[in-house]
Amino acid sequence: MNSTFRLNIDLDVDGRHDGYLNVKRTTELSPFGCSMIPISSIRNGDGPCVVVIGGCHGDEYEGQFLARRLLDTVEVESLCGQLIVLPAANAEAVRVGQRFSPADNGNLNTVFPGKEKGTATECVAHFIETVLMSRAELVVDIHGGGRHVNYFSSAMISGAVSGDRRSRVIELTKALGLPVAFFVDEEDYSSSSLLGACDRAGVMNISAEIGGGTVDVPTLDEAHKGLMRLLHRVGVLCDAPQRLLQTLPSCVDCRSVQPFSRQRAVCSNRGFESVTVSRKIN
């Protein structure tokens, strides 16, 4: 680790290890402060590595709940590989329940690749892109609508992926089973987002938008089942309850639903790539 952040667990050791990424943080109250980002590694031998991120924005609670629920559910013995979970990636924002970090007004999803000696938020982004992505096969980033928006549960994947990687990420998105899925095209694509960071690293990424406004327990239950199916499909979860694997939800055509804002592209019952639009559908 470098001088601006320190990880107090070893990601290369088998077993379950819970700890913190400690990032230097300077404020008016403390020139020698530290931001502590919780991180857990569950590893069992060789196999794929999946990184699950919640709390990229502090007021989006769904990802935080789902990430912690994974930690309560997954046992070391059930894995064939490694699961790394950051349930509160932007920990300062999570602590106060707001979108941006009060430490530096940082939006974690807009500062990639970050900086080794930058602000606290930039250092977290730098750690994710340089340390975690170098070992990951898949990164799952779970968002919600925050306090002001209620999203129809949906999965987003990069429109820049191609070939075998594109086919594989479509397969995994289907396993996740959210009712809407779409490709992010040039209009909404940003190289400074976590999705852009994954593309730079050649790592598969699925970003989810689940709910918002209030936390809906049935929606979280279905999303948790989807995450378990996804981990099983990617090959890191070897021993999953059959009840989670038997019934896979069908995706609906986004033209038959009414999301909060503009309607977008989507996986339909006619096939995932039958619609790849990210502009408004009238």
Q: Kindly report, residue by residue over 94-136, the tens digit of the pLDDT.
A: 999 999 999 899 999 999 999 998 999 999 999 999 999 999 9
Across 43-63, average pLDDT? 96
Q: Residue 280 burial by CB count (10 A; 0-12/13-18/19+): exposed, middle or buried? A: exposed
Query: Is it the case that residue 4 has pLDDT exceeding 80?
Result: no
What angle is formed at CA 107 by the lines to CA 104 and CA 112, rounded to 5 degrees? 105
Q: Residue 185 burial by CB count (10 A; 0-12/13-18/19+): exposed, middle or buried? A: middle
Q: Look up residue 194 and give its DSSP letter.
A: H
Across 226-243, average pLDDT? 88
Give the strand pairing for 180-184 and 5-7: unpaired
Residue 246 confidence (pLDDT) = 58
Confidence band for 77, pLDDT divided at 50, 70 and 90? very high
Residue 276 confidence (pLDDT) = 36
Confidence band for 255, pLDDT divided at 50, 70 and 90? very low
Q: Do the beta carbons of residue 173 and residue 267 sit within 8 Å?
A: yes
Across 57-71, average pLDDT? 95
Residue 36 confidence (pLDDT) = 93
- Pick the more confident residue, 150 or 38: 38
> What fold does the segment set 40-275 form as a domain?
Aminopeptidase (3.40.630)
Q: Where are the alpha helices (DSSP H) in the chain?
A: 61-73, 91-96, 120-127, 163-176, 194-201, 217-234, 242-245
Residue 5 confidence (pLDDT) = 78
Residue 245 confidence (pLDDT) = 61
| Highest mean pLDDT: which range of 29-43, 48-62, 153-167, 175-189 | 48-62
Across 215-244, average pLDDT? 88
Instruction: State pTM to two decimals.
Output: 0.86
- Pick the more confident residue, 214 or 235: 235
Q: Do the beta carbons of residue 170 and residue 233 sit within 8 Å?
A: no
Q: Do the beta carbons of residue 122 and residue 150 sit within 8 Å?
A: no
Q: Look up residue 219 and give its two tokens.
A: 């929606």
Rounded to 10 degrees, what is the CA torsion of 104, 105, 111, 114?
10
